[in-house]
Amino acid sequence: MTDELKPDFSMVIASAVHDMKNSLSMLLQSVEQMCEELPDDWKQTHNTTTVQYEAERVNSYLVQLLGLYRLQNKLLSLYVDEYFPNDILEEQVAHYQSMFQDKEIKLSISCDPNLAWYFDREIIIGVLNNALNNASRYTKTQIEISAESENGYLKIEIHDDGDGYPSALLEATPGDIINSINFQTGSTSLGIYFATMVTKLHKQADRQGSIKLSNGGKFGGGVFTIFLP
Partner 1 sequence: MLSSFGALDIEMASSAEAAYEKCKYQFYDIILCDYNLGDGKNGQQFLEELKVNKRLKHTHLFIMITAETAKEVVLGTREYEPDGYIAKPLTRPVLEQRLNQLIRQQKDLKHINKEIDLKNYSKAISLCHNLIEENTRYKSWCFQTLGKLYLDIGDSINAVKIYQNVLAAREIPWAMLGMGLALEQEQKYEQAVESFESTLQFNPNIIEAYDYLSRCHLKLGRKKEAQKTLQDAVRLSPRMIPRQEKLGNLSQKNNDIQAATNAYRHVVEYGVNSIHDKADNYLNLGRCLSDWSEGDQSDSGKLIANEAVDVLASLSTKFSDDEDACLNATLIEARVHIGQDNKEAAEEKLYQAECFIEEEDLSAEVGLEFSKTLYSLGQHDRAEKILIGLANKFEDESDIISKVQELLDEPESLKERKKAQEFNKSGITAFEKDDLSEAIKAFEAALEHTPKHAALNLNIIQVITKFYKKSQDPKLLIIANESLERIQHIPKQHNQFKRMEHLKKVINKLSAKKV
- Per DSSP (E only), the strands in the chain are 80-83, 106-111, 117-120, 142-150, 153-160, 203-204, 207-208, 210-216, 221-228
- Residue from 122, 163, 171, 176 binding partner 1 (CB under 8 A): 122
Q: Is 80 in the site for partner 1 (CB under 8 A)?
A: yes
- Residue from 15, 22, 73, 141 binding partner 1 (CB under 8 A): 22
Q: What is the DSSP string of 41-72?
A: HHHHHHTHHHHHHHHHHHHHHHHHHHHHHHHH
Q: Is 47 in the site for partner 1 (CB under 8 A)?
A: no
CA–CA distance, 156 with 158 (Å, rounded to integer): 7
Of 88 and 135, nearer to partner 1 (C-beta) is 88
- Per DSSP (E only), the strands in 133-197 are 142-150, 153-160
Query: In 3D, which of 175, 167, 178 has the Cα closest to residue 215?
Result: 167
Q: Is 113 in the site for partner 1 (CB under 8 A)?
A: yes
Q: Is 54 in the site for partner 1 (CB under 8 A)?
A: no
Q: Could you give the string, one character per residue 195-214, with x where binding to partner 1 holds by CB under 8 A and - elsewhere?
A: ---------xx---------
Interacting residues toward partner 1 by CB under 8 A = 18, 21-22, 24-25, 28-29, 32, 52, 56, 59, 66, 75, 77-80, 82, 84, 87, 90-91, 94-95, 97-98, 113-114, 116, 118, 122, 204-205
